[in-house]
């Protein structure tokens, strides 16, 4: 089976760092595009975006023009809005350095646009447009300017829009260069999405993120080595999962095994199993603590109980005695970790069974904590020679990979995936899925996915879904992992019965059935 490319390689989905964007622009200039043309296109496209939102413009517009080409973009916006009859003012907080930007400024004043001498009043109702530095900023900015913008933002008398990057925010890290950055109601990313804008740390500053297409050629985008994709709920409609033959029996519709729960955390097992059931997998088995095993038939009678786990004196589950009697090779996927608790001696005895398992191994929660506290540590992933997916949140990731450093979570996930040849879901407000070649950055997802128990539900859903798709292809790629994570989040956003994990599991079942039915129709 060929690797599925999802989502599409285009300017709406690709994310780049600041240097990659500069290289792309230089290549376009070398191919013959004038700098003036790119500035015009950016400014006119943003003007069109604004004209579709006229309530933002009714009290007038003040454009903060920076010294470089971002300021030139702002000048084009000011010109276009002024020519459409809106009251426009500009203010230059720094001396203009670029000739092209200065020429635009001179033309603005010649046609009647007011150039302010003093800073504008933050208590006014007009729209402020931050066109100061954009993608080229590399250091801290005058804090007085940022305070002025943020006074406007917090007063809520008028909106703030940042062009490309809010002033004071690092385009690669997504963090302020110093202590603060401009807080915008909207950020309009020009050309391609910049990596800093999609990081969790950028959320307090960017407001609503919108993409402004300026026509970067697909031929250029296809040549980018490390491809980072931005995926949103709009991409759910383009998810294409393999359709199984209608005559497949339950054993050929995905066989998964979940090892979950403990006396300390019995609910984690139930939620993981609910996630697997919602996937539609044909054959779901489980290894459960005795406490859960005694009652699981009452809430999930379709689960096949393969064995039970005893608990240590602290209420944590012991895997070894259960694993030694199970043929793991009969399963397409095995998920380990939700709620099992920590038991280092038990992990030392049982790890070889999981290391030698030839199918897809999904490690979550306490399985990852056991690995990080073990003698092998993260070298467990290097010694295991088969496909492995892991699902850490920030603290679990740092315990697993303390030696890995990067500008942002996206870089951390990619570097770890590459070094250890695994696929990683780095959980966060904007979760990240990465392997050694590509990264999928979820963006704009529902905050309700940050709830206790939803990670357990997700682990089971990934286990069941991957088992189904492994019956179609023995080598499913990491884009499947990203699809499962997006579907899980989308189900949470659509759940009308509440935001608890159990209700979202029911919504996930409906979603998966609808997707399969859509493929059939």
Question: Do 50 and 81 touch, CB atoms closer than 8 A?
Answer: yes
The pair of structure tokens assigned to 293 is 């095993």
Query: What is the percent of the chain with per-residue pLDDT over 70, rounded to a whole number?
Result: 95
Q: Is the pLDDT of residue 453 over 90?
A: no
3-state per-residue secondary structure call for 145-200: HHHHHHHHHHHCCCCEEEECCCCCECCCCCCECCCCCCCCCEEEEECCEEHHHHCH
The side-by-side arrangement of strands in the sheet containing 88-91 is: 114-115, 88-91, 61-65, 127-131, 160-163, 186-190, 208-212
What pLDDT score does 449 carry? 56
Question: Do 269 and 309 touch, CB atoms closer than 8 A?
Answer: no
What pLDDT score does 2 carry? 43
Q: Is the pLDDT of residue 515 over 90?
A: no
The pair of structure tokens assigned to 375 is 């003698």
For 14-222, the fitting CATH number among 3.40.30.10, 3.40.50.10260, 3.40.50.2300, 3.20.20.70 is 3.40.50.10260
Q: What is the pLDDT of residues 193-206, one digit of tens each?
A: 999 999 999 999 99
Any idea which architecture 237-520 has in CATH?
3-Layer(aba) Sandwich (3.40)
User: For residue 335, what is the DSSP state?
Assistant: E
Question: Could you tell me the end-to-end alpha-carbon distance of the chain, in angstroms, rounded to an integer?
Answer: 23
Q: What is the pLDDT of residues 277-288, one digit of tens each?
A: 999 999 999 999
15-29, 245-259, 420-434, 480-494: least confident range: 245-259
Q: Is the pLDDT of residue 521 over 50?
A: no
Q: Is the pLDDT of residue 516 over 90?
A: no
Q: What is the pLDDT of residues 70-107, one digit of tens each?
A: 999 999 999 999 999 999 999 999 999 999 999 999 99
Cα(505)–Cα(194) distance, rounded to whole angstroms?
Answer: 34
Mean pLDDT along residues 359-383 = 98
- Domain positions in the chain are 14-222, 237-520
Cα(230)–Cα(250) distance, rounded to whole angstroms?
Answer: 35
> What pTM was estimated for this model as a whole?
0.94
Q: What is the pLDDT of residues 413-426, one digit of tens each?
A: 999 999 999 999 99
What pLDDT score does 243 carry? 72
3-state per-residue secondary structure call for 34-98: CHHHHHHHHHHHHHHHHHCCHHHCCCCEEEEECCCHHHHHHHHHHHHHHHCCCCEEEECCCCCCC
Q: What is the pLDDT of residues 250-263, one digit of tens each?
A: 667 899 999 999 99
Cα(223)–Cα(469) distance, rounded to whole angstroms?
Answer: 29
∠ at Cα 337 (361, 285), nearest 5°? 65
Q: Is the pLDDT of residue 358 over 90?
A: yes
Q: Is the pLDDT of residue 30 over 50?
A: yes
What pLDDT score does 249 carry? 60
Mean pLDDT along residues 394-403 = 97
- Judge if 14-222 and 237-520 fold alike in CATH terms: no
Q: Is the pLDDT of residue 520 over 50?
A: no
What pLDDT score does 248 carry? 64
What is the pLDDT of the chain when averaged over all its residues? 93
């Amino acid at each position: 089976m060929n690797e599925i490319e999802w989502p599409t390689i285009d300017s709406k989905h690709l994310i780049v760092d600041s240097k990659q964007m500069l290289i792309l622009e230089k290549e376009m200039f070398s191919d013959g595009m004038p700098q003036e043309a790119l500035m015009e296109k950016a400014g006119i496209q943003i003007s069109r975006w604004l004209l579709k939102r006229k309530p933002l413009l009714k009290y007038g517009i003040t454009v903060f023009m920076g010294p470089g080409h971002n300021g030139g973009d702002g000048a084009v916006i000011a010109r276009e809005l002024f020519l459409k009859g809106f009251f426009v003012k500009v203010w230059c907080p720094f001396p203009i350095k670029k000739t092209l930007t200065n020429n635009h400024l001179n033309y603005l004043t010649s046609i009647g646009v007011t150039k302010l001498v003093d800073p504008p009043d933050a208590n006014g109702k007009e729209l402020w447009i931050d066109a100061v530095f954009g993608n080229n900023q590399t250091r801290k900015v005058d804090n007085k300017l940022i305070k002025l913008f943020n006074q406007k933002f917090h007063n809520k008398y008028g909106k703030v829009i940042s062009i490309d990057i809010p002033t004071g925010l690092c385009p690669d890290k997504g963090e302020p260069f110093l202590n603060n950055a401009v807080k915008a109601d909207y950020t309009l990313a020009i050309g391609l999405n910049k990596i800093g804008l999609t990081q969790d740390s950028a959320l307090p500053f960017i407001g609503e993120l919108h993409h402004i297409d300026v026509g970067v050629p697909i031929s250029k985008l296809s040549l980018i080595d490390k491809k980072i994709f931005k995926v949103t709920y709009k991409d759910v409609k383009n998810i294409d999962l393999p359709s199984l033959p209608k005559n497949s029996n339950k054993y050929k519709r995905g066989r998964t095994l979940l090892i979950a729960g403990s006396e300390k955390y019995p609910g984690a097992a139930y939620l993981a199993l609910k996630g697997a059931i919602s996937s539609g997998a044909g054959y779901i088995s489980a290894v459960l603590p005795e406490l859960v095993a005694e009652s699981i038939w009452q809430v999930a009678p379709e689960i096949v109980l393969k064995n039970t786990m005893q608990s240590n004196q602290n209420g944590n589950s012991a895997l070894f005695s259960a694993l030694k009697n199970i043929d793991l090779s009969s399963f397409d996927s095995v998920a380990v970790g939700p709620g099992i608790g920590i038991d280092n001696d038990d992990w030392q005895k049982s790890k070889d069974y999981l290391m030698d398992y030839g199918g897809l191994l999904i490690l979550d929660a306490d399985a990852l904590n056991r690995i990080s506290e073990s003698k092998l540590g993260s070298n467990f992933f290097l010694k295991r020679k088969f496909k492995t997916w892991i699902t850490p949140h920030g603290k679990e990731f740092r315990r697993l990979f303390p030696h890995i450093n990067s500008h942002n979570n996206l870089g951390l996930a990619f570097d770890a995936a590459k070094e250890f040849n695994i696929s990683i879901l780095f959980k966060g407000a904007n979760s990240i899925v990465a392997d050694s070649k590509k990264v999928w950055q979820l963006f704009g997802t529902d905050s309700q996915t940050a709830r206790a128990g939803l990670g357990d539900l997700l682990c089971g859903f990934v286990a069941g879904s991957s088992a189904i798709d492994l019956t179609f292809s023995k080598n499913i790629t990491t884009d499947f992992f990203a699809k499962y994570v997006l579907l899980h989040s989308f189900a949470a956003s659509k759940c009308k019965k509440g935001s608890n994990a159990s209700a979202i599991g029911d919504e996930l079942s409906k979603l998966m059935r609808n997707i399969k039915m859509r493929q059939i129709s």
